[in-house]
Chain A
Amino acid sequence: MNTELLGILATYLLTLVIAIPLGKYLAKVFAGERVWTDFLKPLEAGIFKISGINPKEEMNWKQAMKAMLTINLVWLIYGFFVLMYQDKLPLNPDGNPGMTPDLAFNSIISFVVNCNLQHYSGETGVTYFTQHVIMMFLMFVSCATGIAAAVVFFKAFRDKTTEKLGNFWDFFVKSITRLLLPLSLVMAVILAFNGTPTSYEGKDQFISLQGDTVNVSRGPAAGMIAIKHLGTNGGGWFGTNSSHPLENPNYITNTVELVAQVIIPIAMVIAFGIFIRRRKLSWVIFGVMTVGMLLLLIPTLSSELGGSPALEKMGISQATGAMEGKEVRFGPAISAYWSTVTTIISTGSVNSMNDSTMPLTGAWQLLGMMINSFYGGCGVGILNYFIYLIIAVFISGLMVGRTPEFLGHKVEAREVKIAALVTLLSPFLILAGTALSSFVFTNHGQAEWTVQPQNWLNNPSFHGFSEMLYEVTSSNANNGSGFEGLGDNNAFWNILTGFVLLLGRFLPIIGPIAIAGLLGRKKYIPESAGTLKTDTLTFGLMTFAVIIILNALSYFPALALGPLAEYFTMLK
């Protein structure tokens, strides 16, 4: 096996070695059991005291959701104004301007919802102040929001019948103090010692070996890059994200960044099983997710390592694979792995330019984001998976002709309705959004906007369509990566994706928690011979089939118009 493939294997194994114990630790932390980080209790007590929060106050699912939505609304309003007036605030050594209202609208939503779609470029669009107080701050808290929501959901299945789902604030603060902050510190220091800048100095200038004058953007990036990955956020300090040599200096940092973005999503799955005392269920879910990941990774590797068929015709050597948009220090193999991981999980950071990957790779990236639950984002991955699970329970129930149950609670019309609505939301947002933008592009190409619609696309034909499809899909999945050729910093894209981002974030969180809340308070039915067991291989397969069928039916036509059509034209 060559060293590039060996790199992928090592990275994945290292991920598991860290994620599995981390899951056990998280289950204990959120159950309030004793753990070695209990020395942080005074810090948490201080935070609660200043905020006027009683962490012991139990909430039901509606109260938890109200708390979540309130604090998110506070961040939205406050962040919007800070971004618009960032030029008048301190810590702006490069003299960058304030954002236009539509860009501020898009950017603040994008960071609040853990997406980090960036329609600005880090070097010129934000200041050191906003990079910290808005971007990095939201990376911590949006991830903590997802984790806390997932723990509220866990709580509903821990006891037989309960309305009390713990305290949202308690879970939220603990995910920061016990998980995100300590891990970020460790990771930021590793990055710093491998070459990522940490100091607050502004741009530097030097004269190159050939005599050119070169300006260099810098800044305290390491701290943000750490949480960007741990929190599956993905927003880069620099414009080109983790392909930038200061954001991701070498193979070590690349491995660290890759491992960091996967550990919490996997750990949450493990924690779920331990927390509700059904470890086998966790392993089945983990198994389905892993198979899903492999089914996307292997064809991605095959198309990237095979190189570009068009360059093949020019007769050059593509010994390592397709190199457009990739960095030599990473190579195509680990870049392909990155592009899979970053799209199945909602990170959306990149170490190579997705727009320049092979057509089929683009299809797998899109599909990863459409499914959005093979591991999935911090906390929200397991919530997304739960929706598929409820649909699978419902369909299995119909197939064997009995009332569907999940973990001893009857799944009835109301829960299935919620699950169905959440399932339908994604295709609706993605397809309607893409259709609307295609309509504007073809029929109103001459519109007098900041960027004329006819100039949106960086690539003609099918690939241009893929650029629009990718943008809307990435927004709905709260992913944040892009086919970056798209001219997206204008009112149309800022507002369209702004709304898609909001709906694609909060409804898929509220839906599963509502279902869990409703199920949790129902009478517990003890298991009998007739119970449909959800922690078996058969049921895992059933869920997998549901995921594939739902997504294939929803998205195949769109994928056929974009990446698949491009693939077949290139074969000619």
Chain B
Amino acid sequence: MKKYIIQSIRLTLVLTVLLCGIYPMVVAFAGGFSAGNGGGEKITRNGKVVGYARLGQSFSKPEYFWGRPSAVGYNAAGSGGSNKGPSNPDYLKQVSDRIDTLLKYHPGLKRSEIPADMVTASGSGLDPNISPQGAAIQIKRVAAYRKLDEKIVAELVAKHTEGPLLGLFGPSTINVLKLNLALDEIKK
């Protein structure tokens, strides 16, 4: 028994050096060559960081495309989903309110055109994407507030739609931050 205790302690020490020292340092070294140098890929405008490419941020102004509802208000120092069950009455009320808000800001919008992702909270609370349909319903509003031709905005949305991986696997998505940055570019 005593033999096993001493062997266990020594083995733990040597493995700690290998697994918690050498291994992560090798990974950190390799990660240094990635976009963002291992600190997360940032997006800059005029030399200032305006966001992380992978992290969603809150958009509530009508001249921007909106992202998905977030249970944590896009707080990237935490993260979180709503964890609401599908039959929870409070939750259903919340979804219903979100639908009403969308209908209010988008005259002429039909309920059946609203995609689920625009009225449900994401898992992380930091979802950077919306579905192409989620952008499509907002084109009219964004164009009106920016006094732009709807066609130009629609083209921009199409340009920022990323298809499935290799054209075969997974859903199509739109990165809201990148789309909104491109919108701001047009204005100039």
Give me the interface of A with B, judged by CB distance under 8 Å: 3-4, 6-7, 10, 47, 50-53, 66-67, 70-71, 73-75, 78, 121, 123-124, 132-133, 136-137, 140-141, 169, 173, 176, 181, 184-185, 188-189, 192-193, 195-201, 203-204, 206-210, 212, 214-218, 220, 222-223, 226, 238-240, 243-246, 249, 251-252, 254-255, 307-308, 310-311, 314-331, 334, 350-353, 355-359, 458-464, 466, 483-485, 566, 569-570
Query: From A216, which residue of chain B is reached at the shortest CB distance?
Result: B76
- Of B4, B74, B124, which is in contact with the most chain A CB atoms at under 10 Å from its CB? B124
Some 9 contacts from A to B, beta carbons below 8 A apart, are: A7-B165, A176-B19, A181-B23, A192-B38, A204-B40, A220-B27, A239-B79, A324-B120, A353-B81
- Residue B186 lies at the interface, judged by CB distance under 8 Å to chain A: no
B134-188 residues at the A interface, CB under 8 angstroms: 134, 164-165, 167-171, 173, 177, 180-181, 184
What A residues does B164 contact at CB under 8 A? 3, 7, 251
Q: What's the Cα separation between A300 and B52 when bound, in Å?
A: 34
B99 touches A316 (CB 8 A): yes
Chain A residue with Cβ nearest B40: A197
Shortest Cβ distance from B49 into A: residue: A206
How far, in Å, is B83 (CB) from chain A's closest CB? 3
A67 to B9, CA, bound (A): 12
Q: In this complex, which of A70, A184, A209 has the most chain B Cβ atoms within 10 angstroms of its Cβ?
A: A209
A218–B20 CA distance with the chains assembled, in angstroms: 18
In the bound complex, do residue B123 and residue A53 qualify as a contact, i.e. CB atoms below 8 Å apart?
A: no
Could you tell me the distance between the alpha carbons of A195 and B177 in the complex, rounded to whole angstroms?
A: 16
Note all chain A residues with C-beta closer than 8 A to B133.
317, 319
Nearest-CB residue, chain A, relative to B59 = A210
User: Is the pair A355, B83 in contact by a Cβ cutoff of 8 Å?
Assistant: yes
Please indicate the chain B residues that have their CB under 8 angstroms from the CB of A356 in the complex: 81-86, 123
Q: List residues of B whose CB falls within 8 A of some A CB.
A: 1, 4-16, 18-20, 23-24, 26-28, 30-42, 48-61, 64, 68, 74-89, 91-92, 95-96, 99, 111-117, 119-131, 133-134, 164-165, 167-171, 173, 177, 180-181, 184
Residues of B within 8 A of A239 (CB): 78-80
Given A316-B119, A570-B87, also A208-B54 (CB < 8 A): no
Asked if B126 contacts A324 (CB within 8 A), the reply is: no
Q: How far is the CB of B35 from chain A (nearest CB, A)?
A: 7
* Complexed CA–CA distance, A105 and B113 (Å): 50
Contact A137 B16 (CB under 8 A): yes
Q: Are B48 and A207 in contact (CB under 8 A)?
A: yes
- Complex Cα distance, B131 from A208, in Å, reads 22
Residues of B within 8 A of A184 (CB): 23
B58: chain A residues at CB < 8 Å are 208, 210, 212
Q: Is the CB of A3 within 8 A of B171?
A: yes
Q: Which residues of A contact B92 (CB under 8 A)?
A: 310
Q: Is the CB of A71 within 8 A of B171?
A: no
Which residues on B sit within 8 Å (CB–CB) of A252? 165
Neighbour of A314 across the interface among B1, B24, B95, CB < 8 A: B95
Q: For residue A208, which residues in chain B have a CB less than 8 angstroms away from its CB?
A: 50-51, 57-58
If the complex has contacts A189-B27, A327-B123, are A71 and B11 also in contact, measured as CB distance less than 8 A?
A: yes
A537 to chain B, nearest CB (A): 33
Whether A328 pairs with B85 at a CB distance below 8 angstroms is no
| Complex interface: chain B residues within 8 A of A310 (CB) | 86-87, 92
Among B20, B35, B51, B115, the residue within 8 A (CB) of A209 is B51
Minimum Cβ distance to chain B for residue A528 (Å): 42
4 more CB-based (< 8 A) A-B contacts, given A216-B55, A483-B85: A195-B54, A223-B27, A323-B117, A325-B121
